[in-house]
Structure 1
Amino acid sequence: MTSGQSAALKLPSFLHGTFRSARQKAKREGLRCGEQYQKDGTFLLPRQMVDVPPGEVVVAHDVVDFQHERPAWRLYMVSDVMSGLREAVNWQNTLPMRDAYEDFCLETAWGALYFVLEQMGPVSAQRTAKRLQAVLNFWEPLESARYLFKKLGMAQTLEEVMVASCDWAMDAWCPLGDTSVRERLAMAAERMARATREDCLEAIFREMPRALEHAGKLMHRSVVADPDFQRERLATLDSWSFERVSGARSGDLIWLLTIWDRELEKQ
């Protein structure tokens, strides 16, 4: 599979249909790919790719998919492909396979958009950079469609969807300037790709206020909100643990804040 640009957005045929039919087809695709992965560690290309007419709506999140009997493009059902993959290997050692399938899919427009919106994590700055760069590689064809993401009944542009999903990345890694969303994402991806531990810390501290705002009930909020406390706790993380939050995604930082709050409660 090779990356590249196409005038039209192409999606696998297994992502189209009613809710039930698309789910069944996606699951079968996962089983098919899982069987191949067991043989030689590779994945199969989709059997059929279909051009999506410009302006057509793609359902990119299950929370906005209410018309189950209406045939539609259901991008979020890549998750059912992954369920089929796990089933094919009997749920054994699934994480390496999941990561390998993501790398495989990032060389496609549909896979790039799915994984940047799904935001499986916690993830490192480097993996986040790969996800963002993959979307940027396919920006033109992806831009030709419209998406139902998290706003009910409101189709959005690619730029609007990326803001809704990845504003944290731009704020943490490219906080200044009046440049376009595409340019800010490109700068964020570049900085993440070559980030040192100190660069990641700076991004984390830029994103911490948002994480605190959305962290919900914290018994020791004033303590965990203290930058000195945060820096001290971050310094104790081993390289593997730090890498998992090095992208500075607000959801991952909320996870950290919650853990720290529970640790204080036990003291």
Structure 2
Amino acid sequence: MKPGQTSSLQLPSFLHGTYPEVQQKTQREGLRCGEHYRKDGSLPSPAKLLEVRPGEAVVTQDLIDFYRERSAWRLYMVSNVKSSLCEALDWPDTYEVDDHYEAFCRETAWGALYFAIAQTAPKSAERMALRLQALLRFWEPLQSARYLFNSPNDTLTLDELMMAARDWAMDAWCPEGDASASVRERLERAAERMARATREESIEAILRQLPRVLTSSRGLKHRDVLADPGFQRERLAQLDVRAFERVSGACTSDILALLHAWDRQIGKQ
């Protein structure tokens, strides 16, 4: 455990309560952050942190938050703070603010976890490396809690949560298949490789993922062409810098979107 860390997980008080309560509190927090940011370009720490008690589960996804009248930890509603922050500033370009808020949050256990598992763009190799490295710095306190991710009834350990949310990162970037390696060790290797990945290394990671993505995808009209490794490599090589950066992390959803774009292009030829 790092110096200054607690052995238990602490979350901002604005993330706890019924859904309407958390919605109001996170909106107020976003406005507070916006006012602070407008003054000097910095962001304030949460006014109050509370410890997640043993047995309490942290809800990490909106889609499984069925019991909104119950008090709970609602980590996924960090997104509401982000939205309110941008609304408070009322700037046409919010990318810089988003980046600043993410970097600020990654210095906390709760923020590191949120950005490591959220479906938040961008998911480039460089950005995902930063997110996973932040998560790994807070591994011990995050292990003390339990999480709801893909079912409202099944609580997961941190290892199980990361397998459910970021198995693609381990498969793409740590494919050796060492049965003795822990989830933490595989994430460490994946983050290290993402951080220093060349374009060619990112292409190889994407190519490792493509067969699995093709198997699970539906609605593709030119599956045989898309399954050709030569076609895949050629199309990846043709992507400009910005387009390639978006998919360089080899995230399953990004690769799926790329496949459907290629499928439409083939249909127009």
Band the TM-score falls in, shorter-chain normalisation: over 0.9
**What does 1:1-267 correspond to in 2, within 5 Å?**
5-90=5-90, 92-176=92-176, 177-178=178-179, 179-267=181-269
Amino acid at match of 1:97: V
Contact 1:55 1:144 in 2 (8 A): no
Contact 1:37 1:43 in 2 (8 A): yes
Structure 1 pair 47–165 and aligned structure 2 pair: CA distance change class (3 A): same
1:35 is displaced (CA, Å) by: 1.9
Contact 2:8 2:145 in 1 (8 A): no
Q: Structure 1, residues 135-194: CA drift from partner, whole Å, max 9, x if none?
A: 111011111010111123111111111000000000000012120101000110011111
1:94 is displaced (CA, Å) by: 1.1
Other structure's SS at 2:69 match: coil
Q: Structure 1, residues 84-108: CA drift from partner, whole Å, max 9, x if none?
A: 0121122521111111111110010
Other structure's SS at 2:218 match: coil
Structure 1 pair 255–103 and aligned structure 2 pair: CA distance change class (3 A): same
Provide the rounded CA distance (Å) in 2 between the counterparts of 1:59 and 1:82. Answer: 18
Provide the rounded CA distance (Å) in 1 between the counterparts of 2:61 and 2:104. Answer: 21
State the identity as a percent: 59
Amino acid at match of 2:59: V
Structure 1 pair 108–3 and aligned structure 2 pair: CA distance change class (3 A): farther
Provide the rounded CA distance (Å) in 1 between the counterparts of 2:174 and 2:113. Answer: 20
Structure 1 residues 221-230 or 50-59, which shifts more?
50-59
Provide the rounded CA distance (Å) in 2 between the counterparts of 1:222 and 1:262. Answer: 14
Provide the rounded CA distance (Å) in 1 between the counterparts of 2:4 and 2:247. Answer: 30
Q: TM-score, normalised by structure 1?
A: 0.96
Unaligned regions of 5+ residues in structure 1, if any? none
Other structure's SS at 2:132 match: helix
1:54 is displaced (CA, Å) by: 2.9
1:70 is displaced (CA, Å) by: 1.0
Contact 1:121 1:252 in 2 (8 A): no
Structure 1 residues 100-109 or 234-243, which shifts more?
234-243
Other structure's SS at 2:46 match: coil
Contact 1:3 1:107 in 2 (8 A): no
Other structure's SS at 1:147 match: strand
Over the aligned positions, Cα root-mean-square deviation in angstroms equals 1.5
Other structure's SS at 2:153 match: coil
Provide the rounded CA distance (Å) in 1 between the counterparts of 2:132 and 2:239. Answer: 26
Amino acid at match of 1:82: K
Q: TM-score, normalised by structure 2?
A: 0.95
Unaligned regions of 5+ residues in structure 2, if any? none
Structure 1 residues 138-147 or 46-55, which shifts more?
46-55
Structure 1 pair 82–18 and aligned structure 2 pair: CA distance change class (3 A): same
How many residue pairs were aligned? 266
Other structure's SS at 1:219 match: coil
Contact 1:215 1:258 in 2 (8 A): no
Amino acid at match of 1:240: R
Provide the rounded CA distance (Å) in 1 between the counterparts of 2:103 and 2:215. Answer: 33
Amino acid at match of 2:195: A
Other structure's SS at 1:39 match: helix
Provide the rounded CA distance (Å) in 1 between the counterparts of 2:161 and 2:117. Answer: 8
Amino acid at match of 1:231: R
1:251 is displaced (CA, Å) by: 0.6
